[in-house]
Amino acid sequence: MTEIMDIQRARIRPQQQQRAIDGFFLKPSSPVHRSAPAPLNRHAGSPPSSNGMSAQRRVDDFKRSDGFHSAPRRSAGNAGGVPAGHSIAVQFEAPQADRRGKSAKSGRRQASKTAPSKFKTFRKWTFRVTAMFLILVIAVGGLLFGKGYLKLKKVFNGSSTAAALQENVDPSKLKGEGDGRINVLLLGVGGVNHDGADLTDTIMIASVDPINNQAILFSIPRDLWVKMPNNYISNYQKINAAYESGKYKYLGKQDSSNSNRRAIDAGFQATDSTIERVMGVPIHYNVLVNFQAFRQAIDTVGGVTINAPEQLYDPTMAWENGHSPILAKLGINNFDGVHALNYVRSRETSSDFARSQRQRAVMLALKDKVMNLGTLSNPVKLSNLLSAFGDNVQSDISLNDTTRMASIMKKIPNNQIQSVGLADPPNHFLTTGNINGLSTVQPRAGLEDYTAIQAFVRSKMKDGYITQENANVTVLNGTVTPGLATDKADELKSYGYNIGTVDNAPTTDYTATTIIDLSNGTKKYTLNYLKNRYHVQTVTKTLPAGIVQGKANIVIILGTDAPATTQN
């Protein structure tokens, strides 16, 4: 044993690099000069340096590794060490007394105790692999987020904001009844490589009441014959041509690429003005989706389940349905993107009204899947959904407003979302006709007469603030015009106002309409709407003589200016 230890000490070179117990070299405390090059560090795989020394740093370039390191002792003028490749990893010196006996054995026991175990090595590499994996996940997540954010910004880049999206909104920011809701016009087009690429064969208003957590999907028939907002194509056209007429007039040509943002906005403006004239409600936002985005959105959420009220048989679309003319069976159907698109497009063997019902059913099913399956919080699904967007979806909604609307819609269950059409029984506001060989839809009351339609729409899309406050309103006629109070009370009812007493005022000499607030300011939204409607700048808080308050929170005394100033 003594000979072995002597041989080891004889092979030790002065100032040689020292090892820690994990096998990596430690940096020497002072420069070392050797006549012969030091052996390679087989752990790090690094070549000797230019001065003949091994690399002075660990493979990971840190000066010392985490955890325990041995502290070799040095005798005067000579640092102990073990040459590379020797089986002993920790250098030690035997005690001065009795080096050949127990001291040698205890030295071997000490070396054995401080040698690295296989478990520690495994744990160390496990930690490093885990750290690399986490870095990879973070990098990929960041890439998905960046990709998704850029696509979202491209699609949702609007600037205007619906007042109802704000919590505790200032009443003065609500221009009129209907601003207490969020009305989004949903438009579906075929897109590039389809006939009539910019004809909006799906026209639907998604109206949300964020105050009372309710919503409604309202279909507008694509064949409704209307006056165009411009005369680019002709003075009258089907309403599905409104978008392309505005867009093409701006461009001065037909272009279905939807690459010009201002042209898209011109198409939105033309469609909004037409829809607002027909339906009598404001449009706050627009979303335009083509076939490709629709199909991929359905596939991204794993398809939709539809309970068909009847079998849908359409041989004209069999070639797109695996050569089967049955697009949907009676009862439960599980549709992927292609079959869902066929279901909402078919109209040859049914009607435009029936197709509108199918479109609303699929929209509700899609909304249910998106909200309930966590699609918006799943990076992969969200990335796939955004990939469907790109040039296939256009909107004038800002990203912030989109996020806010998503949070509102998540609170609204499907049983609180109405599905309504102008021709759904028992609604009979429309009739079919034929103009110059074109199948058309017109109001029963006559061309461009939307009075009955607007009253019906307003009754279904009541302002959320009016509904919430439910102020009792008394309407009095302060003029000599007979029936004025009744006419105006009926009109207010169609907007959702809670009308109480309807009568004549004590006198008939009112030239200006007067509003009296008896609610002590608690019905501020209702009061604001009425002031805007009748152009009343200030309100009073005292009833004129001869008028009894009863249950009224607000009293309106109509003046001779009322017929001229009332909005329709």
Q: Is 439 left (phi over 0), alpha (psi -120 to 50) or beta?
A: beta
pLDDT tens-digit map of 190-228: 887 778 889 998 899 999 999 999 999 999 999 999 999
Token couple for 444: 């029963």
Residue 512 contacts residue 559 (beta carbons within 8 Å)? yes
Cβ neighbours of residue 430 under 8 Å, at least 6 residues apart? 221, 224, 422, 423, 441, 442, 443, 444
Residue 335 contacts residue 298 (beta carbons within 8 Å)? yes
Distance of alpha carbon 566 from alpha carbon 568, whole angstroms? 7
The pLDDT of residue 93: 42
Residue 254 contacts residue 241 (beta carbons within 8 Å)? no
pLDDT tens-digit map of 496-542: 999 999 999 999 999 999 999 999 989 999 999 999 999 998 899 99
Distance of alpha carbon 531 from alpha carbon 174, whole angstroms? 11
Query: Where along the chain do its domains lie?
Result: 1-116, 163-459, 470-565
Low-confidence ranges of the chain (pLDDT < 50): 1-109, 111-115, 133, 136-150, 565-568
- Looking at residue 317, the DSSP 8-state letter turns out to be G
Distance of alpha carbon 110 from alpha carbon 118, whole angstroms? 18
Burial level of 424, CB count in 10 A (0-12/13-18/19+)? middle
The CATH number assigned to the domain with range 163-459 reads 3.40.630.190
The CATH number assigned to the domain with range 470-565 reads 3.30.70.2390
The pLDDT of residue 390: 64
Residue 498 contacts residue 469 (beta carbons within 8 Å)? no
Task: Please tell me if the domain spanning 163-459 has the same topology as the one spanning 470-565.
Answer: no
3-state secondary structure 423-476: CCCCCCCEEEEEECCEEEEEECCCCCCCHHHHHHHHHHCCCHHHHHHCCEEEEE
Which of 551, 474, 557 lies closest to 515, judged by CA?
557
Q: What is the CA radius of gyration of the chain?
A: 40
Which of 518, 565, 524 lies closest to 541, judged by CA?
518
> In 129-275, at which residue ranges do the beta strands (DSSP E only) sit?
182-189, 202-209, 214-219, 225-227, 236-238
> In 282-397, at which residue ranges do the beta strands (DSSP E only) sit?
285-290, 304-308, 312-313, 326-328, 331-335, 393-395
Cα 244 off chain centre by: 27
Q: Reduced to 3 DSSP states, what percent helix, strand and coil does the chain have, rounded to the nearest 5?
A: 40, 20, 45
Distance of alpha carbon 343 from alpha carbon 309, whole angstroms? 12
Distance of alpha carbon 91 from alpha carbon 71, whole angstroms? 9
Burial level of 437, CB count in 10 A (0-12/13-18/19+)? exposed
The pLDDT of residue 445: 92
pLDDT tens-digit map of 387-434: 656 668 888 888 788 878 888 888 888 788 888 888 888 888 999 988
